[in-house]
Amino acid sequence: MQIQGQTQPKPLARWLRSRWLHPLNDAVAWEQMLCAINPMWSRRDYPARVLAVIDETADTRSLWLQPVARWPGHRAGQHVVVEVEIDGRRLHRSFSLSSAPTADGRVRITLKRQPGARVSAWIQQLRAGDVLRLSAPQGDFLAPADDAPLLLIGAGSGITPLMAMVEELRAGGRHAPLVLVHICRNEEDFIFGARLRELASRWPAFDLRVHFSAVAGRPDAVALTRLLAGTGHCEARVCGPRALVAAVESLYRAAGVAGRVRSESYRGRVLPAADGAASAHAVHCTNTERVFTAGADTSLLQAAEAAGLQPAHGCRIGICMSCQCRKRSGSVLNLRTGERSSEPDELIQLCVSVAQSPLELAL
Amino acid sequence: MSKAHLSPAQLDAFQRELDALRAEVAGDIGQRDAEHIRGVVASARAHAVAGRSLLMFGFDPLSFAAGVLALAKAKILENMEIGHNVLHGQYDWMGDPTLNSQTYEWDIVCASRDWRKTHNVEHHNHTNILGKDDDYGYGLLRMTGEQRWTWRTPLQPLSYLLLALLFQWGVAIQDLKLGRWFKGRMQPGELRQRAAPFLRKARGQLFKDYLLFPLLAFWNWPRVLAGNALANLIRNLWTNAIIFCGHFTLDAQVYSKAEVADESRGAWYLRQIQGSGNLEGGRWLHLLSGHLSHQIEHHLFPDIPAPRYTEMAPRVREICARYGVRYNSAGFWRQYLGVLWRILRHALPLDRRPAGLAPATHAEA
Ligand code: FES
């Protein structure tokens, strides 16, 4: 899990952590002992207990969580990285918080079940009393602080951070116009539909505009312009698939006010190339900000070296693990084992892996 | 004692069968393996706490003996079942940074990073290739007639005894390549650079066992000091015996560089099998040896969680039988006496093979 703003430890703290004192200073052992007694006593990240599980739609479920008291607290629009352990593997996924900050620190995450999304499906099965781990809240996808007209646009489960914003603005007693445009398949698929309709009926400043794509089709540029009518290119927050974000951004760019849109897009799952045997893919090294291309017939290690990078390596035949690297996104095939890695944030061996899609590597 | 000769087609089929076995087991890895390694970590910790407490707070010889044994067991578990296997990346899939091959630091004077290089890269890649596998005789012992006999060789029973007693130090300085230094083929700067991680690690280990814990015991310090030294000694002797049984039993084959030029993946598998030897015994033997009692399976599949070797062994054996490949496996004493016999026998200038085969020296990197 990413810890932001990590600073150099003080000399005393560094000395206490030094290997010379091992095992007296074995923080991991202490941590595991505490966890064995009560998982909420853990000092690693922020354990959070599931308080309640609520079905929102047929495939969407909300979990109310109570993080430990030292959790820093969030602002509407932010997300957290959730850590779960499935079948012995620790996995991390980020989810938007769908609730506004509350006095007692509870938070809500809302997940949609999607084919192949193992982690979401697993979290959806949790019950009240279970414990998962959160990171500190992250992200700057926030509503502006001023009391000017605001436009929120969300599609599908992109409603989650926007819902938190709506609740937060409502609690702040807002009077300036607030427009929420929501795009989803149909009424049954409308996450938080009842709550939003109720708010719209009792809160004059709040204007809810819903677009059902099962009836009206995917909104094209014309439909989108109609949906946004009267908002006058005010400050906007968009959350949804990349295509929607791009469409809104281009409308704003055309109006010369591109700076007024802030967006968040859930990462589209990168599917393995259908028959990419001959094709080469772009590999983006996130640590060094370098890009190279890798064909399906050369290992990523060879491709990286050919591009002038020098990744750590040893045996070059897949047994020593020297070349191990974190793959942020994309799909690779391990030629030695025949295993495919297509989940984000998995460890891969560069010397025996070939690219099957565009990749992001922590190199 | 002879090597199996399989045709290229047979080698390919052989490789495919072993690959299929690996894929099958790899696909099943999960909860059970995670629980195993966590259980061993907990057990090693419990033994360490028990051992150190007995040494620190006891007065009688009985608690001293129990303390030494418990601490030795803790160190053996940590080095073998945890350290060795974690550093092979067997548990990287868990995503637990405390059990990750790139970050784990084990409880011996050898720095993990150095060992990953000498062991994972050099030894596992070049298993039993004379002149390339530094683990073959550790540059100290003549274990086969293909190695050169010199005036120092007759002393090798003594050098072996020293190596066994101080095994962790032997392993720790392997990456220093002192042989090159003695021959004047290494600059002082390079040696300093190579030695830095080792010196840092060794300093911490010595401080802990021979200063910090004795001091914490106040008047009981001689007892703790002696107990820690004994526990380290037992661990050294045991790990040495296990490691030597892995590749120097009577039936273990050696290879020349020429023999392995352009070897196929099937031939690589074959070399791993013929260069290794298994130990038969109960669950305790497998656990305390870090499952290196299944040296053959470990060399075939170094990144599969070690307890799985026990399941894989009968099937590897069966595959070998069908291809007429000798599967070297016997009880501990039988294998270890074979190792000792090899050390004694090759101390004498007997069995000198014709030149042309590369001698095992430290010369090659
Ligand atoms: S270089 Fe050894 S596993 Fe990739």
pLDDT tens digits, A248-264:
999 999 999 989 999 88
- Chain B CB within 8 Å of residue A89 CB: yes
- Chain A CB within 8 Å of residue B352 CB: no
Closest by Cβ to B125, choosing from A87, A317, A338: A317
pLDDT band at A2 (very low <50, low <70, confident <90, very high): very low
Structure tokens at A251: 């409308």
Alpha-carbon distance A111 to nearest alpha carbon in chain B (angstroms) = 23
Alpha-carbon distance B343 to nearest alpha carbon in chain A (angstroms) = 29
Which positions in chain A touch B19 (Cβ < 8 Å)? Answer: 338
Alpha-carbon distance A280 to nearest alpha carbon in chain B (angstroms) = 26
The answer to whether A338 and A299 are in contact (CB under 8 A) is: no
The rounded Å distance from CA A343 to ligand 1 centre is: 21
pLDDT at position B89, please? Answer: 94
If one compares B150 and B40, the residue with the highest pLDDT of the two is: B40
The answer to whether A314 and B88 are in contact (CB under 8 A) is: no
pTM for the whole thing? Answer: 0.88
Which residues in A326-342 are b (16+ Cβ under 10 Å) and which e? ebbbbbbbbebbeeebb
> Looking up tokens 């079948």, which residue turns up?
A87
Residue pLDDT, tens place only, B294-336:
999 999 999 999 999 999 999 999 999 999 999 999 999 999 9
Closest CA to B106 of B41, B155, B164, B153: B41
pLDDT band at B354 (very low <50, low <70, confident <90, very high): low
As a whole number of angstroms, the distance between CA B110 and CA B284 comes to 25
Closest by Cβ to A319, choosing from B96, B102, B302: B302
Beta-carbon contacts of B315 under 8 Å, excluding residues fewer than 6 positions away, are B21
Residue pLDDT, tens place only, B114-130:
999 889 988 998 999 98
Nearest-by-CA chain B residue for A323: B102
Predicted-complex ipTM score: 0.82
pLDDT at position B259, please? Answer: 87
Mean pLDDT in residue range B133-139: 82
The rounded Å distance from CA B115 to ligand 1 centre is: 15
Residues 33-92 of B with CB under 8 A from A: 33-35, 42, 45, 48, 88-89, 92
pLDDT tops 70 at residue A9:
no
| Interface probe, candidates A16, A316, A319, A349, chain B, greatest B C-beta count within 10 A | A319
Which residues in A78-103 are b (16+ Cβ under 10 Å) and which e? bbbbbbbbeebbbbbbbbbbbbbbee
pLDDT at position A20, please? Answer: 75
Of the ranges A138-147, A159-168, B189-198, which is most confident?
A159-168
pLDDT band at B49 (very low <50, low <70, confident <90, very high): very high
Q: What percent of chain B has pLDDT over 90?
A: 72
Q: Cβ of B32 and A88 within 8 Å?
A: yes
pLDDT at position B347, please? Answer: 92
How close are the terminal C-alpha atoms of chain A, in Å? 18
**Helices B156-165 and B221-247, axial angle in degrees (round to 10):** 130
Closest by Cβ to B92, choosing from A92, A322, A324: A324
| Number of neighbours of residue A109 by Cβ within 10 angstroms | 24
Residue pLDDT, tens place only, A31-80:
888 988 999 999 889 999 999 999 999 999 999 999 999 999 999 999 99
Residues 96-155 of B with CB under 8 A from A: 96, 98, 101-102, 105, 107, 116-117, 120-121, 124-125
Closest by Cβ to B95, choosing from A20, A91, A337: A91
pLDDT at position A4, please? Answer: 41
- Chain B CB within 8 Å of residue A88 CB: yes
pLDDT band at A16 (very low <50, low <70, confident <90, very high): confident
Mean pLDDT score of chain B: 91
Structure tokens at B102: 């790139």
The rounded Å distance from CA B274 to ligand 1 centre is: 23
pLDDT band at B2 (very low <50, low <70, confident <90, very high): low
pLDDT band at B262 (very low <50, low <70, confident <90, very high): confident
pLDDT band at A271 (very low <50, low <70, confident <90, very high): very low
Which numbered atom of ligand 1 lies nearest the CA of A314? Answer: 1
Residue pLDDT, tens place only, A114-137:
877 788 899 999 999 999 999 999
As a whole number of angstroms, the distance between CA B229 and CA B224 comes to 8
